């Protein structure tokens, strides 16, 4: 019994420690009705299985203790009808009832996270997984961006997920379940945040060397702030700065789009890169020093990614940095 208590205590401590691991990506801190259904299901399953494990463990311990105490006094009494009933009830009937009840409960949760129809949503966003970043497109607003998805609070948004290469998985734990991005197949999920905030998302399917560094952020904003963001993203980029010339000369445009300047599609769209929170799909902060380090040696920061180190002089680098940072 003491061992059981110790194991239970340890499990409790682990839970507490793990729940403190993450502030911004926590499956147990839901911020949408779909995510709440998933969290409730998780707790029901967790508490249900904990009770089952405790009861079974208790019965095993009791049986062992009882048998030890009696062995020297009692010869085997053979199989009694009472013993058979205990086995039938606790070994077949009770598990059947418990598992059926849990299964029915799971079935009632499924519709809450089911694939949305176009009419279920007020807005659609296309997200394409690529090794290793997320290309984001708002068809109605004519916006292209990357690794950061802005949505209005309280508005059901349908994410249509595709992949350009291998299987990825789109997952924002606080907003809904994960959906796989499978070559040749479109999947969709509904995001409807119930309060403003920044929700971290992560690729949830191993997709190569930098799978772990394939993150993104969903920024849920009040309507007015969201509209301001849309208006800013719709503005064309400045293509006259000195840095814009360097961008073209050095060859950045072969892989990246800056609206009006280049239309590469291998790397993330940079039209408004200066306004984003992170670089390289959540790998590094979007700050001048990090951006400079990234341009000079991207393979050091994110080995295996498709960006080569381009030969830029000191002054070219400064012009590039000022330019990219100005693209808000
Ligand atoms: Cu993309 Cu893992």
Domains of the chain: which residue ranges? 118-232, 242-326
Spatial separation of the C-alpha atoms in residues 163 and 187, rounded to whole Å: 10
Give the highest mean pLDDT range of 14-28, 109-123, 179-193: 179-193
Question: Quick one: pLDDT band at residue 1, thresholds 50, 70, 90?
Answer: low
Binding site membership of 148 for ligand 1 (Cβ less than 6 Å): no
253 within 8 A of 262, measured Cβ to Cβ: yes
Question: Do 118-232 and 242-326 show the same overall fold?
Answer: yes
Measure the CA–CA gap between 37 and 317, rounded to whole angstroms.
49
If 0-12 CB within 10 Å is exposed, 13-18 middle and 19+ buried, where does residue 248 land? middle
Task: Give the model confidence (pLDDT) of 180-236 as tens digits.
Answer: 999 999 999 999 999 999 999 999 999 999 999 999 999 999 999 999 999 999 998
Assess whether the C-beta atom of 258 lies below 6 angstroms from ligand 1: no
**If you measure from the C-alpha of residue 204 to the centroid of ligand 1, how many angstroms do you get, rounded to a whole number?**
6
Round to whole Å and give the CA distance between 24 and 19: 11
Please check the confidence at residue 119 and state whether its pLDDT lies above 60. yes
Give me the mean pLDDT over the 168-173 stretch.
Answer: 97
How far is the centre of ligand 1, averaged over its atoms, from the C-alpha of 101 (Å)?
35
pLDDT given for residue 248 in this prediction: 94
Q: What is the mean pLDDT of residues 117-135?
A: 95
Separation of CA 211 and ligand 1 centre (Å): 4
Contacts of 96 (CB under 8 A, 6+ apart): none
Instruction: Compute, in angstroms, the gap from residue 267 CA to the centroid of ligand 1.
Output: 15
Question: For ligand 1, what atom is nearest to the CA of residue 211?
Answer: 2
Q: What six digits make up the tokens of 130?
A: 């690529």
- The CA distance from 301 to 305, in Å, is 9
DSSP 103-161: HHHHHHHGGGGSPPPGGG-SEEEEEEEETTEEEEEETTTTEEEESEEEEETT--EEEEE
Q: What's the pLDDT at 226?
A: 97
Residue 19 pLDDT > 60: no
Q: Per CATH, the architecture of 242-326 is what?
A: Sandwich (2.60)
**What is the pLDDT, as a whole number, of residue 71?**
54
- When pLDDT is averaged across residues 254-281 and rounded to a whole number, the result is 94
Domain 118-232 fold: Immunoglobulin-like (2.60.40)
Task: Give yes or no for residue 130 CB within 6 A of ligand 1.
Answer: no
Report the C-alpha dihedral over residues 55, 59, 65, 70, rounded to 10 degrees. Answer: 160
Averaged pLDDT, 161-174? 96
CB burial of residue 271 (10 Å; 0-12, 13-18, 19+): buried
What whole-number distance in Å separates Cα of residue 95 and Cα of residue 117? Answer: 37
């Amino acid at each position: 019994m003491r061992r059981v208590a110790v194991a239970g205590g340890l499990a409790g401590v682990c839970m507490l420690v793990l729940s403190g691991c993450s502030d911004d990506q926590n499956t147990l801190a839901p911020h949408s009705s779909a995510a709440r259904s998933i969290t409730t299901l998780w707790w029901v399953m967790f508490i249900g299985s904990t009770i089952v494990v405790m009861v079974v463990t208790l019965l095993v311990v009791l049986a062992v203790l009882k048998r030890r105490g009696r062995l020297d006094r009692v010869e085997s009494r053979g199989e009694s009808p009472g013993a058979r009933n205990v086995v039938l009830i606790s070994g077949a009937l009770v598990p059947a009832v418990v598992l059926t009840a849990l299964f029915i409960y799971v079935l009632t949760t499924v519709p809450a996270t089911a694939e949305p129809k176009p009419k279920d949503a007020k807005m659609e966003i296309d997200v394409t997984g690529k090794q290793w970043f997320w290309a984001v497109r708002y068809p109605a607003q004519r916006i292209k961006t990357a690794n950061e998805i802005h949505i209005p609070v309280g508005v059901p948004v349908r994410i249509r997920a595709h992949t350009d290469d291998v299987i990825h998985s789109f997952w924002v734990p606080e907003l809904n379940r994960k959906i796989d991005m499978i070559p040749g197949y479109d999947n969709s999920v509904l995001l409807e945040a119930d309060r403003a905030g920044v929700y971290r998302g992560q690729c949830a399917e191993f997709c190569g060397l930098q799978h772990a560094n394939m993150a993104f952020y969903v920024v849920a904003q009040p309507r007015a702030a969201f509209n301001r963001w849309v208006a800013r993203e719709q503005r064309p980029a400045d293509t006259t700065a000195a840095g814009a010339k360097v961008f073209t000369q050095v060859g950045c445009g072969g892989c990246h789009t800056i609206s009006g300047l280049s239309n590469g599609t291998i790397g993330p769209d940079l039209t408004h890169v200066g306004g984003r929170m992170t670089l390289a799909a959540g790998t590094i902060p979007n700050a001048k020093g990090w951006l400079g380090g990234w341009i000079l040696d991207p393979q050091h920061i994110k080995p295996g990614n498709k960006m080569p180190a381009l030969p830029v002089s000191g002054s070219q680098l400064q012009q590039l940095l000022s330019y990219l940072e100005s693209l808000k």
